[in-house]
Structure 1
C-alpha cells in the first residue's frame, strides 16, 4: 500500500507524511554513511547538520562564503594547469564533441594537417590554444610553440616551465635546448 493510499485511509498517516516532508525540507540535514555496504543498498541515514558538525550553525550564514566553499570543493574556482599534450593524444581525439576542448578556429589547424598528422597541442585553462612541435638536429633541440592567443604572464611562465620539462625529457642528450614562442 502506498503512502497516498495510507493517507486516504488514515488521516494520521497523511499528517505523518507531511511532517516528514516538512522536516526534511526545512531542517539542514546531512546524509551520513553508510547508506549501503558492498553489494547491498540501504535507506539514507540522516542527521541534522548541527549534530554532524558538532557545533551550532551560524544564524545568518554568508551566501558569499557558501559559494566560495562550494567552488573550492567542486570548482571551477581555479584554472586548469598549462599542459603540452602529445601528438595524437586521446584527450584531443576521443571526444565526439571536440568543441569542449578544441575551439572552432583551431579545428582546421589540428584536424586538417598533412597526411592525417595530429600535432602536439597547447592547453591553456583546459582548452587547446595552440600547437607545438619539437625539432632535433644533432646536439640541438628546439621546441616551437604556435599560440592562437597571447598568454598571460602567469601562463607564459607556466609554458616556459612545461616546455623546459618536455625538452629535458625528449632530448636529454642535447647540448643546446631552445624554447620559441
Structure 2
C-alpha cells in the first residue's frame, strides 16, 4: 500500500475541506459536502463557510435557516450540527445509537435517574409541549416536571432533546440575532418524519454515511470515522465498501479513501485560514497529528482549542483567535500563538485576520492584537 506522510495527509484533507482554495459554491452545497458543521456556537458556521467559499455572505445562511432548508439539531457525537434539512431527515436515524448512549450512559442526566421510567410517555409529553410551539429547555422542564414529580426535570428534558429528532429553531443561529435555544421536532418543523428516503443519496445507510465522510475528511481510518460520527463498530461497514487503502507512514495505521479521488501533491502551498470554534476539521479524526504536532497538543488543552477559533498556517494549527471587541465602530481580534511565529507568518496571519474582521464587522475600524507565544 502507498504510504502517506503527515504532510500528504494534511494537504489531502485540506483540499477536500475546501481550505486550499476557496470554492465557487453555495452555502447549501458546502454544508452538504461537509456532511454538516458543528454548531453549538451558533455563529461559528458563518465563519466556517466564509473561510471556504469565495462569495459567502451571512444573509445566505440566515435565509436557508429561515426557509428551513437547513437546520440545527443533535447529530454527530450528540452535538449540535448545522445540516441540510434533507441530510438531517435521512441521517438522523443512523446517529440514534450515539444519542441513546448520551441519555442512558450520561452521568449527570441518565443512569438511575431514568431507571424504571416509561420513556415513551416522556417523549410523547415532550412532543405535546413542542406541538404548542418551540420550547426552551426551561419550558420543557416546567412541562415535564409536574408529570413526573419524583424525577429530575432536567433529566427528563435531556431525554426529550436527545431521543427525539429535535431541532433548534430560529432566531437561534441567525446572524445578528440571538435568544435562548428553542426546540421543535423534525415532524413539526419540517413537516416530515426522519426518513432515509428523504436523502439525495441513493440509499441512505451507514455505508453512504462513511462514503460521505471520506469524501470530506479522508483519507481516514475506521477509528477516525467513529470519532467523527460518535458511532461504534464501523469496521464491518468499511469492509463492505470498495475503498483504496493507504498506510500512515508515521503510525503504520491503515487509512481508507474513495478510489475516485486523486490526492494533491504534498508540497502544494496551504494558505493561512481562520477556523471558527468547534470546526469539524479539528474534531473529526482520532489521530489529529495531521493538524497539530505532539508537543503542541501537550501544551494546548482541547477545551482551549474548541472555545476559541484556530488559525491554520502552512496547514498546521499555530494559534488561537478570538473577537474580543465588536461594535459598529470598533472590532478587535486577538491572536494567541502556541508556538513562536516568524515575521512572514505574522504578516500572512494578520492579513487574513483583517479579511475576517471585514467579514464579521464591515464598516468598523479593525485592530489585531498579538499575544506572546
Runs of at least 4 residues of structure 1 off by over 3 A?
105-108
2:292 aligns with one of 76, 89, 102: 102
The Cα shift of 1:151 comes to 2.5
Equivalent position SS for 2:307: coil
- CA 1:78 to 1:154, structure 2 compared with 1: closer, same or farther past 3 Å? farther
Q: Is the 8 A contact 1:86 1:119 kept in 2?
A: yes
CA 1:94–1:157: 2 relative to 1, 3 Å: same
Contact 1:110 1:118 in 2 (8 A): no
- Cα gap change, 1:76/1:92 in structure 2, threshold over 3 Å: closer, same or farther? same
CA deviation string 1:2-52 (max 9, x = no partner): xxxxxxxxxxxxxxxxxxxxxxxxxxxxxxxxxxxxxxxxxxxxxxxxxxx
Q: After the TM superposition, which residues 50-129 of structure 1 pair with which residues of structure 2 at under 5 Å, given as runs? A: 74-107=264-297, 109-113=300-304, 117-129=306-318
Say if 1:117 and 1:84 are closer, same or farther in 2 by CA, change over 3 A: closer
- 2-side partners of 1:159 and 1:81: how far apart? 10
Contact 1:142 1:178 in 2 (8 A): yes
The DSSP-based 3-state class of the residue aligned with 1:165 is helix
Cα gap change, 1:165/1:137 in structure 2, threshold over 3 Å: closer, same or farther? Answer: closer
Describe the shift of the 1:127–1:148 C-alpha distance in structure 2 as closer, same or farther (beyond 3 A).
Answer: same
| Structure 1 SS opposite 2:300 | helix
Asked if the contact 2:300–2:338 (Cα under 8 Å) also holds between the matched residues in 1, the reply is: no
Distance 1:92 1:147, change over 3 A: same
| Match of residue 22 from structure 1 | none
Q: Which has the higher contact order (CA 8 A, sep 6+)?
A: 2
Partner Cα separation in structure 2 for residue 120 and residue 152 of structure 1: 20
Kindly state the Cα deviation for residue 112 of structure 1 after the two structures are TM-superposed.
Answer: 3.0
State yes or no: 1:159 paired with 2:349: yes
Aligned match of 2:330: 140
Q: Is the 8 A contact 2:353 2:368 kept in 1?
A: yes
Change (3 A) 1:78 1:151: farther
Equivalences, count = 106
Unaligned ranges ≥5, structure 1: 1-72
Partners of 2:345 and 2:312 in 1: how far apart? Answer: 10
Report how far residue 140 of structure 1 moved: 1.7
Give the alignment of 1:29-68 within 5 angstroms. Answer: none
1:110 shift after superposition: 4.5
User: Contact 1:110 / 1:119 at 8 angstroms: preserved in 2?
Assistant: no
Whether 2:339 is the aligned partner of 1:149: answer yes
Q: Residue 131 of structure 1 corresponds to which residue in structure 2?
A: 320
Residue 117 of structure 1, CA deviation:
4.7
1:52-109 alpha-carbon deviations (Å, 9 max, x no partner): xxxxxxxxxxxxxxxxxxxxx9422343111111111111111121122122344363
Q: Is the 8 A contact 2:272 2:349 kept in 1?
A: yes
Give the distance between the partners of 2:343 and 2:306, measured in 1 at CA. Answer: 31
Higher Rg of the two aligned structures: 1
More strand by share: 1
Q: Give unpaired runs (5+ residues) of structure 2.
A: 1-262
